[in-house]
Amino acid sequence: MMMLNRSLNQNEKAVSTISAMSRLERKFVISPQFAGIVVAWLRHNCLVDPQYPLSLINSIYFDTPELDSYQECLNGDIYKNKVRLRWYDKAIPGLNDAVYLELKSKRGFNTVKRRKLLPVTNSELQGDKMSNPVSQLQLETALAELGYFATRPLSPIIQISYHRYRFRERQSGVSLTYDLDIESFMVAPGRIVRTPCLEFKATVLELKGGTMMLPPALRGLRAFAPRWSTFSKYAECLQLHLQRAGAAGRWQT
């Protein structure tokens, strides 16, 4: 396994690399009983992403002690920001030891995602270190480089993991991702929760592109999800942890 610090020796500029993308997003929440059918339908009607067709995604979300980002989602605020660490499994060659700090800013239906590669390896995101994966100074410095200055201190709250399929619609070029096996567990130190670890009983299909219109070739998706929604994995999973013990989760032994 290639360690991130070795990669940095080969390319010392890698850590300071910052990328950004802007797009419109539509999300459809689909019952897991249709997962196999949806994957087969997407493979038949879309192009499978040739580089990253399937991977395991792990994210640690940060928030204030008052859970400001969580409240923005619950309130349906037009302006929302999310801060997270994200890393991938070995299914993505060369990225299995890459850890990114991401700032996801939503303005209405438009989403801008900025990310910065951090000098952290996914092997460091294990055990006790997961509750404090980066120092406060490192976090604030990286966020400042992304153009974001939090009004209150941020700390890790929850880790969410899932498998992601990636596709592209042939005619329009619209990108599609389909997320399955969504699991989460609390990493916030000292926070009292009713359900520390849970499996989310839904799958999420997301369209990412420059239009809110559903391409004609994709209208068959309405058979699985008639309506799109303003779904947030962070808000939905955290709500289950904090308020609905046993509703859609399980204790992990």
Please tell me what DSSP assigns to residue 51: S
Give residue for tokens 């590669």. Answer: 117
Residues 223, 211: Cα–Cα separation, whole Å: 21
Query: Mind giving me the DSSP string for 143-159?
Result: HHHTT---SS--EEEEE
Structure tokens at 246: 């046993």
Asked: is 16-243 a CATH 3.20.100.30 domain? The reply is yes
**Residue 239 φ/ψ, nearest 5 degrees:** -60, -40
pTM above 0.95, yes or no: no
Structure tokens at 113: 């995602």
Return per-residue pLDDT of the chain as tens, 253 residues: 222 232 323 333 333 468 777 777 889 999 999 999 999 999 999 999 988 899 999 999 999 999 999 999 988 888 899 999 999 875 555 555 688 999 999 887 788 999 999 887 766 776 555 667 888 999 999 999 999 998 899 999 999 999 999 999 988 888 999 999 999 999 886 666 666 788 998 999 999 877 767 888 888 888 888 888 888 999 999 988 887 544 333 333 2
- Domain edges within the chain: 16-243
Q: Are 171 and 245 in contact (CB under 8 A)?
A: no
